[in-house]
Amino acid sequence: MTLHPEILPGAAGLAAEALDLVFIEGFSAPTLIGIHPGELTEKQPVVIDLHAGVPRARACDTDRIHDTIDYAAVRERLLRLLAEHRVQLLEALAEQIAGVLIGEFGAHWVRVKVAKPRKFDDVAAVGVVIERWAGAAEGAPHARSAAVLRLIGQVQAGRHREGPQQGE
């Protein structure tokens, strides 16, 4: 599968590697999360959607579950994480989920959406969506984006040394 901007914003215009996406949508389980007093004593449901990208999964050729991300194993790991985590914000929970998918399941890219359904009477859900790339430094832009910016900087520096280019 080729990366598409609607699936991977920021991938447009880059020579993107082909990724296969394994996904789970609408996973719902109770957990303790929040900053308000009632949220810290009573479990509430969270709904998780995730997409995990891997370079062309060998499972396409081998038809073996061990050659891709096993979403049943991911589901079990999510259940364990929701029972064990000690974070208060959905952002921090989404970050932990992304770390699990990259660190334990070998995803190269992930998008994680975590929502609290019916948090308010007049809102269907509140939540966060994050995207992370394996190998990108925490808090830093994606490695490919950094490489593009370095290249642009080198081109611009070269232009300044050579003087104005035709049409500039």
**In this predicted model, what pLDDT tens digit does every residue of 105-149 receive, in sequence order?**
999 999 999 999 999 999 999 999 999 999 875 544 444 444 444
Reported confidence tier of residue 103, pLDDT bands at 50, 70, 90: very high
| 8 A C-beta contact, residue 79 and residue 29 | yes
Q: What is the pLDDT of residues 147-160, one digit of tens each?
A: 444 445 555 555 55
Query: What pLDDT score was predicted for residue 56?
Result: 84
In the numeric block, the tokens 């447009």 are attached to 12
Q: Kindly report the pTM of this predicted structure.
A: 0.73
pLDDT tens per residue across span 25-81 = 999 999 999 999 888 899 999 999 999 999 887 889 999 999 999 999 999 999 999
DSSP 39-104: GGTS-EEEEEEEEEEEES-THHHH--GGGS--HHHHHHHHHHHHHH----SHHHHHHHHHHHHHHT
Residue tagged 């060998």 (tokens): 58
Q: Which CATH number fits domain 19-135: 3.30.1130.10, 3.40.1670.10, 3.10.180.10, 3.40.50.2300?
A: 3.30.1130.10
Residue of 66, 68, 81, 62 whose CA lies nearest to 21: 68
